[in-house]
Amino acid sequence: MENFDYDLRSIQAVRDLARLGKTASQQIAEYTEEQIDKILRNMVKAAKENAVMLAKMAVEETGFGKVADKTYKNHLASMILYESIKDMKTVGVIAHDEVKQMMDVAEPVGLLMGIIPSTNPTSTAIFKAMIAIKSRNAIVFSPHPSAAKCTMKAAEIMNHAAVEAGAPANIIGCISLPSMNATNELMECNEVKMIIATGGPGLVKASYSKGKPALGVGAGNCPAYIERTANIQKAVSDILASKTFDYGTICASEQSVIVEACNRGEVIAEFKKQGGYFMSPEETAKVCQLLFKNGHAMNAKFVGRSPQVIADAAGITIPEGTKVLIGEQHGVGPSYPLSYEKLTSVLAFYTVLDWEEACHLSIQLLQNGIGHSMSLHTQDKDIVMKFAKKPASRILVNTGSTQGGVGASTGLTPSFTLGCGTWGGSSVSENVSPMHLINIKRVAYGLKDCSTLASADPTFDYPELSNSSEVPASLAENMDIANNEQLVKLINELVAAMARG
């Protein structure tokens, strides 16, 4: 009975949020670029003042990751994002083609729903709030139940900062009584015009089934290939910096390392030098038993954990200063659990003969996180182009895939919602930005005379039309009733006969 009452209250609260959010979305739709920028700058200020506090809340509530790294995520989602989007045109005329006499006019979508994951519960909320406001939309968040407090706090801070700077009341809302029923109710509310889903495959799939536009992103399983021409010291350094960032909770983080037989020894030595611990087959099996349940589903207890926590739970001893646990694998699939996504400080390790074998293996690994990302360490531009054909939306070269994928170390748009394209069942393949949250209307002036389109077009040349008319002459004569005496006589006779009965 208690759960039933909770569900009823959560559903009613969601309906209220949606109504308030719709009103706010209608109001902000009339704002100018100057008004929007003022609001965003105040949100950035609030995010900076609360970045550490929100990071601490997230770690305490979920147990995932590191405070310092979550603080940087909050910074990336606010300050760095703002610098990237501040000059982006999202209000009024955003493009004008003088030659074609066309204009693009931006209009907001309306009320957005943002689904927030437990792995990045405050940074994703800040990010989605920022891009919603930039595109003149309101947004309501659905937090993960295990990270509800920190997500609600982030939403509250962003909403207060926005309203303080002139935004309508309730411009940023959040479900206060989280449940699957509440999330489902919000997805189905008529007031919600678009869903931005960042979370598990089940939620993303549900978002696409609601009959309204959705931006969903799938799981990642990023392979990192260290090709024979790579700077091995830098490649290993980048991979470790990426995989240890917030203990691997970003879906773009490396999941597997692929090396060639010719550089295997040097790569292993470099990993050991920089803090990688290569587990024995027995130790790898123990760790796999901890990390996965129900096949290859990640055990939430070990998401975003340090190698020390994982090693202690598995009953294995690792050297002091170990940064990542590495397990050698010889295949892909259920018999090789480390070939699947591991949002924690554990890597799979593969050895191949050459780039062609690395290519085949990468495709196999990407099937478990298809469309997301892969990284490549090489000095050979031809190799880059060969791997650019792989089914991944981000091919990241000579950088850590975590920082590269979210746009921190690359020129990609800073984002915590990374599209996977049609390979991964996603409607977008790029990093989601404010430009995905607007409708673009085209205003097009007439350039040609409609009545003379064919005659004035020198390319409209069809000889078979030149000697024909719309109606054959013989048929036209028969249709000319006034000049056809026989037809007139026949009609008169028929009329007379009908009159006689």
Tokens of 83: 């610098």
Asked if residues 382 and 332 have their Cβ atoms less than 8 Å apart, the reply is: no
Four-residue CA torsion sign, 320, 321, 323, 324: negative
Catalytic residue check, 288: no
Q: How far apart are CA 345 and CA 303, in angstroms?
A: 9
Residue 437: closest CA among 91, 86, 74: 91
Task: Provide the CB-side half-sphere exposure for 427 (13 A, CA).
Answer: 17
DSSP 215: E
The torsion region of residue 457 among left (phi > 0), alpha (psi -120 to 50) and beta comes to beta
Q: 39 to each of 49, 82, 134, 164, 361, how far by Cα in Å?
A: 16, 11, 9, 8, 48
Q: What is the DSSP secondary-structure string of 66-117?
A: -HHHHHHHHHIIIIIHHHHHTT---SEEEEEETTTTEEEEEEE--EEEEE--
SS3 content of the chain, % helix, strand, coil (to 5): 50, 20, 35
The H or E element that residue 442 is part of is strand 438-444
Secondary structure (3-state) at 498: helix
| β-bridge mates for residue 104, sequence order | 95, 442
Candidates 150, 251, 288, 420; catalytic one: 251
Q: 26 to each of 111, 138, 148, 184, how far by Cα in Å?
A: 9, 9, 27, 23
Q: Rounded to 5 degrees, what are φ and ψ at 390?
A: -75, 155
Helices and strands: H and E segment counts in the chain: 17, 17
Q: How far apart are CA 361 and CA 376, in angstroms?
A: 13
CB neighbours of residue 325 within 10 Å: 27
Residue that is written with structure tokens 């919602």 in the block = 417
Residues ≥6 apart with Cβ < 8 Å to 11: 181, 182, 185
Q: How far apart are CA 269 and CA 179, in angstroms?
A: 48
Catalytic residues: 251
